[in-house]
């Protein structure tokens, strides 16, 4: 951000803040006096405090904008904030249930790609299930999952082919619980007081990359899909919002994919199956799956690839 850009934006914001104060002072004089009494200050002192708080908020926002222009979020997280997709202030201003938020999340993603929803997955999961899944993901952050590729004309006794995908968990900073509004005086009450909430768990991502691609390019390999687990509403509403984003294919097409999927590196059906594999191994894992997951990390020389194929999706 240029210095000129900062100076152009600053006066308008200060003017807007002052105008908003004058409006409050005119319309809500009695309530402002009551708030001043609660704080043990005069109205003039309260006004000075508000100006200081607004100036602090402005500096913090400018710091965030500057950091963004210089290379992204301060925590270097690749995760887009949840507020990019949902109006969190509005959600908190008018109490929403977890079910209502889940419905909004579904509608938003269904509207993508000209209303087809292609290229995206979405879900909402209870906090308890996410906590269980994430704890296993932190313990065993890497794994390989097979996708079954049925032969179009299988010969007698011939087994299906398989394509392997390397998955990798990553954990990022815990997001703060969203607030209802920036309105200092008349913010509607959220469903529960955020001051008493336990901090949210870390946001996490799960990247899926074809195993051959990962073996040849390692950390430079292009993930075909990224699942992001948004924990912003974990403590306030008890849910984690999941967003799956399939990498666009650019000029290339996925061989054999339906025409609607050719814009992406991964067909929609494969994306759904990979997300199911995460649940199979990190949430609803049978004893055999737990053994495979553990062996992959702790005793890789004893890892049984043939056993893994039994759990292909």
Domain boundary among 72, 104, 120: 72
Q: Each residue of 207-232: pLDDT tens digit?
A: 999 999 999 988 789 999 999 999 99
The pLDDT, as a whole number, for residue 133 is 97
Domain boundary among 72, 97, 119: 72
35 and 183 co-located in one domain: no
156 and 258 co-located in one domain: yes
How many domains would you assign to the chain? 2
163 and 228 co-located in one domain: yes
Question: End-to-end distance of the chain based on CA atoms, in angstroms?
Answer: 47
244 and 191 co-located in one domain: yes
Is 72's pLDDT higher than 50?
no
- What's the rounded mean pLDDT across residues 109-138? 94
105 and 10 co-located in one domain: no
| ∠ CA 100-126-294, rounded to 5° | 150
b/e 165-196 (16+ beta carbons within 10 angstroms → b): bbbbbbbbeebebbebeeebeeeeebeeeeee
Would you say 181 and 187 are in contact if contact means Cβ atoms under 8 Å apart?
Answer: yes
17 and 132 co-located in one domain: no
- What's the rounded mean pLDDT across residues 197-206? 92
Is 86's pLDDT higher than 90?
yes
33 and 166 co-located in one domain: no
d(CA 88, CA 260): 32
**138: number of Cβ within 10 Å:** 12
The pLDDT, as a whole number, for residue 241 is 98
Is 87's pLDDT higher than 80?
yes
**212: number of Cβ within 10 Å:** 13
Give the domain extent around 121.
Answer: 80-309
Grade residue 252 by pLDDT with cuts at 50, 70 and 90. very low
- What's the rounded mean pLDDT across residues 250-274? 75
93 and 223 co-located in one domain: yes
Domain boundary among 28, 51, 72: 72
Residue-averaged pLDDT of the chain: 79
180 SS3 class: coil
| Tokens 């394509």 belong to residue | 163
172 and 46 co-located in one domain: no
* pTM (global) more than 0.85: no
**129: number of Cβ within 10 Å:** 14
Instruction: For residue 131, give both structure tokens.
Output: 């906590």
The percent of the chain in helix, strand and coil, each rounded to the nearest 5, is 50, 15, 35
97 and 36 co-located in one domain: no
Q: Each residue of 11-61: pLDDT tens digit?
A: 343 334 445 445 545 556 776 777 778 778 887 777 777 767 666 655 655
């Amino acid at each position: 951000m240029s210095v000129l850009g900062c100076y152009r934006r600053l006066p308008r914001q200060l003017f807007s803040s002052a105008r908003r104060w004058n409006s409050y002072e005119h319309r809500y004089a009695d309530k402002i006096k009551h708030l001043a009494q609660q704080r043990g200050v005069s109205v003039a002192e309260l006004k000075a405090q508000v100006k200081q708080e607004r100036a602090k908020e402005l500096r913090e926002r400018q710091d965030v904008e500057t950091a963004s222009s210089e290379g992204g979020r301060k925590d270097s997280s690749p995760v887009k904030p949840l507020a990019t997709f949902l109006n969190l202030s509005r959600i908190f201003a008018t109490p929403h249930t977890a079910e209502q938020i889940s419905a909004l999340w579904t509608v938003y993603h269904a509207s993508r790609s000209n209303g087809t929803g292609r290229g995206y997955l979405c879900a909402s999961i209870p906090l308890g299930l996410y906590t269980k899944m994430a704890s296993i993901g932190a313990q065993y952050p890497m794994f390989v999952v097979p996708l079954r590729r049925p032969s179009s004309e299988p010969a007698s006794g011939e087994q299906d082919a398989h394509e392997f995908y390397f998955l990798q968990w990553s954990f990022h900073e815990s997001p703060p619980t969203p607030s209802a509004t920036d309105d200092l005086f008349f913010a509607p009450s959220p469903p529960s007081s955020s001051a008493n909430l336990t901090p949210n768990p870390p946001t996490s991502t799960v990247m899926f990359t074809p195993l051959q691609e990962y073996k040849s390019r390692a950390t430079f390999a292009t993930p075909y899909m990224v699942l992001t687990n948004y924990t912003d509403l974990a403590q306030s509403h008890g849910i984690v919002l999941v967003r799956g984003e399939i990498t666009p294919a650019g000029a290339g097409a996925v061989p054999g994919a339906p025409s609607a999927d050719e814009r992406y590196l991964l067909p929609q059906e494969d994306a759904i199956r990979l997300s199911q594999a995460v649940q199979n191994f990190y949430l609803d894992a049978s004893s055999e799956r737990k053994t495979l997951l553990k062996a992959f990390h702790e005793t890789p020389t004893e890892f049984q690839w043939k056993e893994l194929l039994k759990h292909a999706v």
